[in-house]
Amino acid sequence: MALSTRTRLLFTWLILSAITLVAWGIGARHGAGIPRPDAAVAIGAIAITVIKVRVILREFMDVRHAPASIRHVADAWLGLFAGAMIVAYFV
């Protein structure tokens, strides 16, 4: 059964909101006490960000219906961005 556009976007928005709350919970617990670098938390935050950006690109910016070349360029850009963020964290 295919979802209507409105229902799909509402479902997507709810999922993104839930992911945001999870990320906030991770950050709130990690921020208690003396700040210290933690690679697992940083990589988790970057991964959550990449997932959210990909969903937003696909669903809300209509990359989902774009030609395959544009979808591949968007995914490559996102991969480069994630890689740059991870390198920046560890350098």
**CA atoms 80, 81, 87, 91: torsion sign:** positive
Q: What is the pTM of this model?
A: 0.76
Please tell me the predicted confidence (pLDDT) of residue 44: 84
Please tell me the predicted confidence (pLDDT) of residue 33: 60
CA 37, 43, 46 angle in degrees (round to 5)? 115
Nearest to 22 by CA among 14, 11, 34: 14
Which residues fall within 8 angstroms of residue 29, CB to CB, at 6 or more apart?
A: none
Which tens digits make up the pLDDT trace of 9-48?
899 899 999 988 888 877 766 555 655 667 887 888 889 8
Amino acid at the residue 74: A
Tokens matching residue 86: 């991870």
Please tell me the predicted confidence (pLDDT) of residue 39: 81
Which tens digits make up the pLDDT trace of 39-86?
887 888 889 889 999 999 988 888 989 999 999 999 999 999 999 999
